[in-house]
Amino acid sequence: MPDMNQTRARLERHLPILTWAKTYSRDTLTSDLVAAVIVTIMLIPQSLAYALLAGLPAEMGLYASILPLVAYAIFGTSRALAVGPVAVVSLMTAAAVGNLALQGTAEYAAAAITLAFISGLILTVMGLFRLGFLANFLSHPVIAGFITASGILIATSQLKHILGVDAHGHNLVDLITSLMAHLPETNIFTLLIGLTALGFLFWVRKGLKPVLLNTGMPPRLADILAKAGPVGAVAVTTLAVWIFNLESHGVKIVGTVPTGLPPLSLPSFSADIWSSLFVSAVLISVIGFVESVSVATTLAAKKRQRIDPDQELVGLGTSNIAAAVSGGYPVTGGFARSVVNFDAGAETPAAGAFTAVGIALAALLLTPLLFFLPKATLAATIIVAVLSLVDFSILGKTWKYSRVDFAAVAATIVLTLGFGVETGVSAGVLLSLALFLYKTSRPHVAEVGLVPGTQHFRNILRHDVETHPSLVTLRIDESLYFANSRFLENYLLNRVACEQPIKNIVLMCSAVNEIDLSALESLEELNRLLGDMGIRLHLSEVKGPVMDRLLRSHFIEHLTGQVYLAQYDAMVALTPKEEAA
């Protein structure tokens, strides 16, 4: 029986659907279906628009919104995360695939499919090896800076569709220069459609629902109709292009969108293509995972639920593999879409599977109606969606809180805008790691003393505490490892280079969770150098796992002083002896 329970637990961990399916009820089904209807309405125009952003045929956006949702429903752990094409990943796809082939070619689409497959493999392998913790090395302020810059790039890149001109560029300077050069070629009909759609979509986001509620409409129906705003924009502008034959006046349209379910497709297994796309796939995987986990964690906390980051890697990985085998491109969990899914009452990942059914029906029945859909409307949909990602307040927050974080965020924004999305995200990853190394390489070390009448020790610069000239206690507020071991060594040797009659030094290790081999060697060297000066080195409040490692070395045997359970014990043991002497 224990073996059966362990097997069941292991299966449920790798197949979360087995957990929530056991308690699935009619009420849950109703909630999931309502959420699926709302998200489907929102996702249809978004899928088409994000495919346009990625430089792909519109139908690939729909294909990327069917099987990936089913895969996530089986393997994902978030009850509300809505997987599919998103703006930032679409832009990164365009940047990665654009280096290999021209937009509109079969090779371009095949490269996007291959990119999804590679990304899916990377995410799945990371999940199986429980490597979700690696995403923690990405600084959230840096990621926020990257997403803000990407939002600006995406919105700017779509202005060409609003104006009806040909403009290109991978960074903000190139895009603006190209737009300005082609500005005289602006198509007035396209501009009218684009500006009208923009104004309507901006108003719909906050203005439509209150109007509907004031008419006495039920809140749930008002919410559904408000979310259907982009669909309304698509329907009206498509009808206008058809009725007034605006295509003949230069308005660019989507054209023929193949009818039917996603075709079975296979990625390319060319070594050259894989080597060219691998780094981009890693960056897309990391950014997509960080964004998804952030959204999933936030939504789960609202219902006192939890997600498993490692299983989320598997869920996102299998979703991307599903996208690749069904003619799609890289996907991840979208912020706006997931919030809508949550607010609409989604109870389980089955809502995503029902959304996939809705998108499949749209691919089967509605695609002929999209022929006259103006690209300006899709561009307006993208601009309205991505501008919500732009948040310059992160600059003010980091400036007030930490100038180092501010420099990293500002550099990420500038590099992304100035050199393109791939350079920006690469810089973001490197800056996050550099930020971590910089902060931990210069750990905070405080000289502490005894608070009178207590057994507590505090910083001598901040509190009125008791000390003794022959005893120095240093509290180390960081784990010790190769990057900061020399810093501690120099700090301590500089501290004893004075006329104070120091005879004992105690390293208070209450905040030290790890001492690696480099740090151990530095401690051994410190112990020897201090011993030559006639100063004994002591440790206090060493954590159990750290002490276990120290005991496996010869450090404790050669330590000139003692290891004390508490800093107060060290104070009592050392101070009276020095006073008696």
pLDDT tens across 494-513, in order? 999 988 999 999 999 999 99
What's the number of domains the chain is made of? 2
**Does the residue 16 lie in any domain?**
no
The most confident of 243-247, 301-305, 384-388, by mean pLDDT: 243-247
Domain boundary, last residue among 434, 469, 498 = 434
pLDDT tens across 215-250, in order? 888 887 887 788 778 888 999 999 999 999 999 999
478 Cα distance to chain centroid:
26
pLDDT surpasses 70 at 581: no
pLDDT class of 358 with cuts at 50, 70, 90: very high
The mean-pLDDT minimum among 9-13, 23-27, 263-267, 498-502 falls in: 9-13
Whether 333 and 292 have beta carbons less than 8 Å apart is answered as yes
pLDDT tens across 34-62, in order? 889 888 888 889 899 999 999 999 999 99
459 and 428 within one domain:
no
pTM, full prediction: 0.83
pLDDT tens across 520-530, in order? 999 999 999 99
Average pLDDT across the chain, whole number:
90
The mean-pLDDT minimum among 132-141, 333-342, 483-492 falls in: 132-141
The mean-pLDDT minimum among 1-5, 64-68, 337-341, 431-435 falls in: 1-5
Q: For position 579, what pLDDT does the model report?
A: 47
420 and 535 within one domain:
no
Domain boundary, last residue among 414, 434, 454 = 434
For residue 205, the 8-state DSSP code is I
**Does the residue 5 lie in any domain?**
no
**Does the residue 1 lie in any domain?**
no
pLDDT tens across 69-101, in order? 999 999 999 989 999 999 999 999 999 998 888
Q: For position 418, what pLDDT does the model report?
A: 93
189 and 71 within one domain:
yes
392 and 512 within one domain:
no
258 and 155 within one domain:
yes
How far apart are alpha carbons 240 and 196 in whole angstroms? 12
Query: Percent of the chain, pLDDT > 90?
Result: 65
pLDDT surpasses 60 at 340: yes
- Mean pLDDT, range 323-350, rounded to an integer: 90
Q: For position 3, what pLDDT does the model report?
A: 65
**Does the residue 14 lie in any domain?**
no
Q: For position 295, what pLDDT does the model report?
A: 87
How far apart are alpha carbons 41 and 54 in whole angstroms? 21
- Mean pLDDT, range 262-267, rounded to an integer: 92
pLDDT tens across 445-465, in order? 999 999 999 999 999 999 999
Q: For position 576, what pLDDT does the model report?
A: 60
Query: Which CATH number characterizes residue 543's domain?
Result: 3.30.750.24
Query: Percent of the chain, pLDDT > 70?
Result: 98
pLDDT class of 306 with cuts at 50, 70, 90: confident
470 and 412 within one domain:
no
pLDDT surpasses 80 at 291: yes
466 and 393 within one domain:
no
pLDDT class of 580 with cuts at 50, 70, 90: very low
pLDDT surpasses 80 at 6: no
551 and 519 within one domain:
yes
pLDDT class of 577 with cuts at 50, 70, 90: low
Q: For position 205, what pLDDT does the model report?
A: 83
Residue that wins the pLDDT comparison between 197 and 132: 197
**Does the residue 11 lie in any domain?**
no
426 and 484 within one domain:
no
**Residue 9 backbone class (left: φ over 0; alpha: ψ -120 to 50; beta: rest):** alpha
373 and 261 within one domain:
yes
**Does the residue 490 lie in any domain?**
yes
DSSP for 426-451 reads HHHHHHHHHHHHHHHHS--EEEEEEP
pLDDT class of 571 with cuts at 50, 70, 90: very high
Q: Output the six-digit token pair for 104.
A: 């509109």
Domain containing residue 519: 445-580
Taking each helix axis from N to C end, the angle separating 403-419 and 172-182, rounded to the nearest 10 degrees, works out to: 40
Q: For position 41, what pLDDT does the model report?
A: 84
**Does the residue 18 lie in any domain?**
no
360 and 451 within one domain:
no
Q: Is the dihedral of CA 158, 164, 167, 173 positive or negative?
A: negative
Q: For position 229, what pLDDT does the model report?
A: 80
pLDDT class of 120 with cuts at 50, 70, 90: very high
Q: Which runs of consecutive H residues, i.e. helices, occur in 442-484?
A: none
CB-count burial class (<10 Å; 0-12, 13-18, 19+) for 234: buried
**Does the residue 503 lie in any domain?**
yes
pLDDT class of 2 with cuts at 50, 70, 90: low
412 and 470 within one domain:
no
Q: Cα separations (Å) of 547 from 337, 366, 483, 543, 556?
A: 49, 67, 21, 6, 9
DSSP for 532-561 reads HTT-EEEEES--HHHHHHHHTSSHHHH-SS
Domain boundary, last residue among 371, 405, 434 = 434
pLDDT surpasses 80 at 7: no
